[in-house]
């Protein structure tokens, strides 16, 4: 019986050392939709295809010993001819609990996997905002956060801590 208790204690200790990741919360921190030339921009919306520029940034902040806030900032600007049709900006965040994650896996998780988990929700908010603003929904293409991370890693150099700032990219 004493052996079973010892085996159980060792198994529990081993499980506690395994990496654990969880999403505590996800939330909209800031959302802005501008339609500066309405109603003119809405009358011309079907006539010409707008040029759309999308910028994406990922930021990370340590919130506690095992908690990190990951910010996914998406800005999209649509232009028809020389005028701005609309501009939508979203700051969508998630609070992640990370326990027993090796140091070398921390940055890739926070800058690749965490934004990848947040993106579908942010994409939906962008689509709903543009639709509610009178335009066809803007359905963002999937974003390769790993490529953005690798690009930023090459620009910053191997010793840089990317979790203290933003990883930026154009989609």
User: Which residue did the predictor score with more confidence, 34 or 47?
Assistant: 34
pLDDT score, position 44: 62
Laid out side by side, the sheet with 83-99 consists of 20-34, 83-99, 67-80, 51-62, 166-170
pLDDT score, position 142: 94
Write out pLDDT tens, residues 87-123: 999 999 999 999 988 888 899 999 999 999 999 999 9
Strands (E), the chain: 20-34, 51-62, 67-80, 83-99, 166-170
Closest CA to 72 of 95, 97, 98, 102: 95
pLDDT score, position 46: 58
pLDDT score, position 102: 87
- Please determine, for residue 14, whether its predicted confidence score (pLDDT) is greater than 60: no
- 171 — pLDDT class (breaks 50, 70, 90): low
Q: Are 35 and 79 in contact (CB under 8 A)?
A: no
Which fold does the domain 23-155 belong to in CATH? Bacterial Protein-export protein SecB (3.10.420)
- Distant-in-sequence contacts of 144-152, Cβ < 8 A, 24+ apart: 145/58, 145/111, 145/112, 145/113, 145/115, 145/116, 145/119, 146/112, 148/56, 148/58, 148/111, 149/108, 149/111, 149/112, 152/111
List the domain boundaries for the chain. Answer: 23-155
Across 13-32, average pLDDT: 85
Write out pLDDT tens, residues 142-160: 999 999 899 888 887 665 6
Residues of the chain with pLDDT > 90, as a percent, come to 55
Closest CA to 93 of 169, 171, 166, 170: 166
pLDDT score, position 8: 47
C-alpha 114/C-alpha 94 separation (Å) is 8
């Amino acid at each position: 019986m004493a052996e079973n208790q010892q085996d159980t204690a060792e198994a529990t200790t081993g499980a506690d050392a395994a990496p654990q990741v969880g999403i505590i919360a996800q939330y909209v921190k800031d959302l802005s939709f501008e339609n500066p030339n309405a109603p003119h921009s809405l009358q011309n919306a079907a006539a010409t295809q707008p040029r759309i520029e999308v910028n994406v940034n990922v930021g990370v902040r340590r919130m506690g010993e095992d908690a990190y806030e990951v910010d996914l900032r998406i800005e999209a600007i649509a232009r028809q001819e020389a005028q701005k049709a609309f501009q939508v900006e979203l700051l969508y965040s998630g609070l992640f609990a990370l326990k027993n994650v090796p140091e070398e896996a921390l940055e890739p998780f926070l800058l690749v996997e965490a934004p990848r988990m947040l993106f579908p929700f942010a994409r939906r908010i962008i689509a709903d905002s543009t639709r509610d603003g009178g335009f066809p929904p803007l359905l963002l293409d999937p974003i390769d956060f790993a490529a953005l991370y690798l690009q930023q890693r090459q620009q910053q150099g191997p010793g840089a801590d990317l979790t203290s700032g933003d990883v930026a990219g154009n989609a």
